[in-house]
Structure 1
Amino acid sequence: MGLFAKLGRSSDLVQGMASRLGIDYGEIVAADPQAQGQKYMRAVLRCSTCRNQDGCSDLQRETTELPEAPSYCRNAQLLAHLRGS
């Protein structure tokens, strides 16, 4: 998979996981584009290094809501923080 395809998939997975946790990433980034945009890009980059993207994709296909990010998620801490904000 090429770099841009990998980053696109990772962006979709980050957005999808956030959505299933009740987090509106678009709203968060819109509130502070510079700071939150950088945090979002770091989340996408972390996701792009995950070895379980297929499992994450399968999980997101199977459910529309989650109580928390799965333990293997490299963004679990960030998402828990955003959810608590």
Structure 2
Amino acid sequence: MGLFAKLGRSSDLVQGMASRLGIDYGGMVAADPQAQGRKYMRAVLRCSTCRNQDGCSDLQQKVTELAEAPSYCRNAQLLAHLRDN
């Protein structure tokens, strides 16, 4: 998989996980593109290094809501912080 395809998939997974946790990441980035855009890109880059993207994709295909990110998620701590604030 090429770099841009990998980053695109990772972006979709980050957005999907955030959505399932009730986080409007797109709205956050739109409200503060400078700060939130950087955080989002770091989240996408962290996701791109995950070895369980297929499992994450499968999970997201099966559920529409989650109470918390799975333990393997490299963005679990960030997403919990965003959800709780």
Is TM (by shorter chain) over 0.5? Answer: yes
| Structure 1 ranges of 4+ moved more than 6 A | none
TM-score, normalization by structure 1? 0.99
- How big is the shift at 1:31? 1.6
- Identity level (%): 89
- How big is the shift at 1:58? 0.2
Secondary structure of residue in 2 paired with 1:14: helix
Q: Distance in 2 between matches of 1:78 and 1:31?
A: 18
Aligned-partner residue type, residue 75 of structure 1: N
Aligned-partner residue type, residue 33 of structure 1: P
- 1:75 aligns with 75
Q: Distance in 1 between matches of 2:43 and 2:15?
A: 10
TM-score, normalization by structure 2? 0.99
Aligned-partner residue type, residue 76 of structure 2: A
Secondary structure of residue in 1 paired with 2:64: coil
- What runs of 5+ residues in structure 1 fail to find an aligned partner? none
Task: Say yes or no: does 1:15 pair with 2:15.
Answer: yes
- What runs of 5+ residues in structure 2 fail to find an aligned partner? none
- 2:36 aligns with 36
What are the Cα deviations for residues 42-75 of structure 1, in whole angstroms up to 9, with x where unaligned?
Answer: 0000000000000000000000000000000000
